[in-house]
Structure 1
Amino acid sequence: MFTLDRKGLHVGRVWNPEVQGPSVVTVRGGIVFDITSFEAPTVRDVLEMPNPADYIRTVAGAELCTVEKLAAANSVNKNDLHLLAPCDLQAVKACGVTFASSMVERVIEEQAAGDADKANAIRARIGNAIGANLRNVKAGSPEAQKVKQALQNEGLWSQYLEVGIGPDAEVFSKAQTLSAVGSGAEVGIHPISNWNNPEPEVVLAVASTGEIKGATLGNDVNLRDVEGRSALLLSKAKDNNASCAIGPFIRLFDDTFSLDDIRQAEVDLLVEGDDDYVMRGHSSMKEISRDPADLVSQVIGRHHQYPDGFMLFLGTLFAPTEDRDHPGQGFTHKIGDKVTISSAKLGALTNIVRFSTDCPEWTFGVSHLMRNLSARNLI
């Protein structure tokens, strides 16, 4: 279940069984309206408008259902109306190691090479010290260079610290276009992984011009042991079937919501296991080491264009060090975990953890979308 700030203007997507394809939707007074049109057949088209908020505020729509009914819908059955990820043609990008605490954990993962016992020992040795030293260091600054030299002198330098406090952010492709799942869907863990966790993040919706048009929530599912063995396994660790969840809706920037709200956002995490295990986590955007606008500028510019815009995960402060089963083993998912990521102005994104091989296969790609929209006389 999710709630949306009724002061906000929201745009998203649902699977519409009547057309066996996606519909662009908005929410008004707790009711979901289909606003798909020839003018804007995709969310991408809405975000490319000079003022998406004005369009969403005034566009006509057909009533579909209540928000409560949509939140409770079956996301697996294509004969049921259900939420999809609120993006469509946009590339799905992500920035990593943007918070001091998560940066420490990446260093530990790398040095432990996926061994949870070894990671615990390294964490005890350097974790708190590095976190304290880096918390207020601005990435790319002269102070950051001094920290870099000190860490090198201690033999603790790492590629993760390079992107954490160096001049260049880590930017990677999280998921293929149209492959992200929405709230209520199953989210996938690759079966080769034995040490993994959710990553609760704010996700920006960015137009082809580089202008940030709104934001939503995301789960950048992370395979700690796979990436920890080698940073060259990043794609294998990050991009798998159903491993990217985004939603529930994109909240558009308007006079009630702006980038400053993102800079102050508090993101909560709740994991509820079938074994009665409960874990709570938190990520505060106030502690990010790079401004969201700076991260966007590192993604798009003369060096790289995105004609359909992109979604950008901003990273997380959350570091899953709490033991789940055995002392020193930290946290890892179990199949059936219910993961809820929430923030007051963005709603809540909820997913159930499965193996990627057990999640519904991704079969609706760009070619399928184009054919579907054409058959509906929308393009």
Structure 2
Amino acid sequence: MNLIRYKKAEKAQMAVMTEDLAIYDLSFSDFQEIDARASAREMSIHSFIKEQIQDQLPINKKISDLELLIPIETEEVWAAGVTYQKSRMARNYESSHQELNNETCYDKVYHAERPEIFLKSTRKRTLGPNQQLYLRNDSNWQVPEPELGLVINHQAKIVGYIIGNDLSCRDIEGENPLYLPQAKVWKGSCSIGPSIRLVETVENPYDLTITCRIYRKNELVFNQSSSTSQLKRKFDELVSYLVKNNELFDGVVLLSGTAIVPPDDFTLQDDDHIEIEIPEIGTLTNAVKMMVEQAAHC
């Protein structure tokens, strides 16, 4: 069961898509209201929605007919780093000149008790399916980072899964790990979508296939898959560190890391199209455009 959000009569409409691809409109415009209503009745979101649509007919449209919106307008998107061996190796390559006694900071965080967790995006910076992302104009080595995202409610409970695209500047971070915020956070550097897969309907979240495809002038230039089975840390562990001494907004998203890294000689270019697919959730598609320098507002 997947929750989607689409434009209907110029307004946001929440809906649910069942396993047979039937779509049922819900009497809500955002995910947080659904979660709040389900919590008030001490029900899971899955049970609550099943009750909502039990006497309802599906709409006469397919998902391809709808103008999908970002499925959750989250106040914050957080991200975990170096949670896969592939990510550890890539981050070490970026910062090979920073090695100390043959062990980098990325080796240390990969093995450490405390995971790396950082703020990736805010509500106004986070985009949805089919929206245009941006490339930094002061970086020469930029890549997507396809990730499984965890949708977390105010009770620190994982209630759903979503796809995330964590655009990253490998050269900026490789120059100095303290540049991580600039390598990760800028206008249009994060997208999530296209749906939220409810946690109760996923048999094993550590057995999901993630595929990333990049098209340049309609030609496929990158195609790689990985599995969440390669993840070093458990989702509950990541969430437990996110909430420590922290204020948790309802419907926050935590990206769980990536095991897909394009070749070291690859960088995104103007008008590239990125597709990130997790079959249980759908395909998140975004084009990228180089940022045009703007005057600062004081």
Pick the TM interval, shorter chain: 0.7 to 0.9
1:224 pairs with 164, 167, 170, which one?
170
After TM superposition, list the pairs within 5 Å mapping 1:314-329 onto structure 2: 314-321=256-263
Which residue number in structure 1 is paired with residue 33 of structure 2? 45
What is the deviation of 1:232?
2.1
1:257 pairs with 186, 189, 202, which one?
202
After TM superposition, list the pairs within 5 Å mapping 1:149-228 onto structure 2: 155-228=101-174
What is the deviation of 1:65?
4.0
Q: Are the equivalent residues in 2 in contact too, given 1:12–1:43 (CA < 8 A)?
A: no
Which residue number in structure 1 is paired with residue 63 of structure 2? 67
What is the deviation of 1:178?
4.5
What is the deviation of 1:231?
1.9
* C-alpha distance in 1 between matches for 2:174 and 2:89: 12
Superposition TM-score, scaled by structure 2 size = 0.86
Which residue number in structure 1 is paired with residue 296 of structure 2? none
Q: 1:92 aligns to what SS in structure 2?
A: strand
- Alpha-carbon RMSD across the aligned residues, in angstroms, is 2.4
* C-alpha distance in 2 between matches for 1:280 and 1:102: 17
Q: Are the equivalent residues in 1 in contact too, given 2:31–2:251 (CA < 8 A)?
A: no
Superposition TM-score, scaled by structure 1 size = 0.69
1:286 pairs with 216, 229, 236, which one?
229
* C-alpha distance in 1 between matches for 2:74 and 2:193: 15
2:15 pairs with 25, 39, 44, which one?
25
* C-alpha distance in 1 between matches for 2:17 and 2:163: 17
Which residue number in structure 2 is paired with residue 91 of structure 1? 76
What is the deviation of 1:56?
2.1
Select the structure of larger CA radius of gyration. 1
Unpaired segments ≥5 residues, structure 1:
1-8, 71-81, 114-150, 322-328, 359-379
Letter in 1 for 2:143: N
Q: 2:14 aligns to what SS in structure 1?
A: strand
Letter in 1 for 2:3: V
Deviates more, 1:206-215 or 1:267-276: 267-276
- Please tell me whether residue 269 in structure 1 is matched to residue 269 in structure 2: no
- Please tell me whether residue 342 in structure 1 is matched to residue 277 in structure 2: yes
What is the deviation of 1:94?
0.5
Q: Deviations over 1:7-29 (max 9, x none)?
A: xx11132244534xx33232255
Which residue number in structure 1 is paired with residue 290 of structure 2? 355
Q: CA 1:192 to 1:17, structure 2 compared with 1: closer, same or farther past 3 Å?
A: farther
Q: 2:127 aligns to what SS in structure 1?
A: coil
Q: 2:123 aligns to what SS in structure 1?
A: coil
Q: Are the equivalent residues in 2 in contact too, given 1:187–1:356 (CA < 8 A)?
A: no
Q: Are the equivalent residues in 2 in contact too, given 1:36–1:42 (CA < 8 A)?
A: no
2:239 pairs with 263, 277, 296, which one?
296
Q: Are the equivalent residues in 1 in contact too, given 2:74–2:122 (CA < 8 A)?
A: no
Letter in 1 for 2:26: I
Q: Deviations over 1:315-364 (max 9, x none)?
A: 0111222xxxxxxx611111121111112212111111212449xxxxxx
- Count how many residue pairs are aligned between Structure 1 and Structure 2: 284
1:35 pairs with 11, 23, 26, which one?
26
Q: Are the equivalent residues in 2 in contact too, given 1:200–1:283 (CA < 8 A)?
A: no
Q: Are the equivalent residues in 1 in contact too, given 2:275–2:285 (CA < 8 A)?
A: yes
Q: 1:306 aligns to what SS in structure 2?
A: coil
